[in-house]
Amino acid sequence: DAGVIQSPRHEVTEMGQEVTLRCKPISGHNSLFWYRQTMMRGLELLIYFNNNVPIDDSGMPEDRFSAKMPNASFSTLKIQPSEPRDSAVYFCASSFSVGTYGYTFGSGTRLTVV
Amino acid sequence: GDSVTQMEGPVTLSEEAFLTINCTYTATGYPSLFWYVQYPGEGLQLLLKATKADDKGSNKGFEATYRKETTSFHLEKGSVQVSDSAVYFCALSEWTGNQFYFGTGTSLTVIP
């Protein structure tokens, strides 16, 4: 298995532009998680899906952030408009049974908003 | 609610030294416990896990024992290598839960 695949690995964009991050979970996993990691705040859970349905989006910082999971093999995290304070590494993770197997993380997308 | 507390870093050790990174937890139910490792520029990787009390997880020379009486899951390694330099995260998940509760991470640097 190729693992959790995220794209792009790096993204540099100007303030105000729309940014879309992509994630392909491991086949057969039924839960998908989006995290943000910064030096100041560490790892933050933004949103998670179970069977393609958003379960908890309380971590989404504001309305500029949105996430979708149109099918079991694809999810997007969109920021519109982007701001410099959104600069971070964004991780996607998937799981079949969190309590038993834990998460499998992707390699992350490093976002820089200038 | 559930939470995980890790020892503050950063930790700097000489090669072949003994490593302990402390982790304690608070949980309302019956959690599974995990250690993840993050190498520079990479995502988090599962290092080891334990799903019930007194279980010992082990991998790559690292060990951690699930101690319910002390609500702890301390990470240990008898002889660290330079290649072990990374950030280590303790985490828990309730058995029936669907989320992790991560500690803040402990940065380890091993010097030759």
From the list B36, B42, B98, the residue facing A98 with the nearest CB is: B98
The size of chain B, in residues, is: 112
Q: Quick check: B45 contacting A, CB < 8 Å?
A: yes
Q: Is A5 on the interface with B (CB under 8 A)?
A: no
* pLDDT tens for each residue of B46-79: 999 999 999 999 999 999 999 999 999 999 999 9
pLDDT digits 0-9 by tens, A55-106: 999 999 889 999 999 999 999 999 999 999 999 999 999 998 777 788 899 9
* β-pair partners for A70: none
Scan residues 58-87 of A and list those with Cβ closer than 8 Å to B. none
**Cross-chain Cβ contact A102/B102 below 8 Å:** no
Looking up tokens 């939470």 gives B3
- Dihedral, CA of residue B27, residue B96, residue A107 and residue A39, to nearest 10: -20
Neighbours of A32 (CB within 10 A): 28
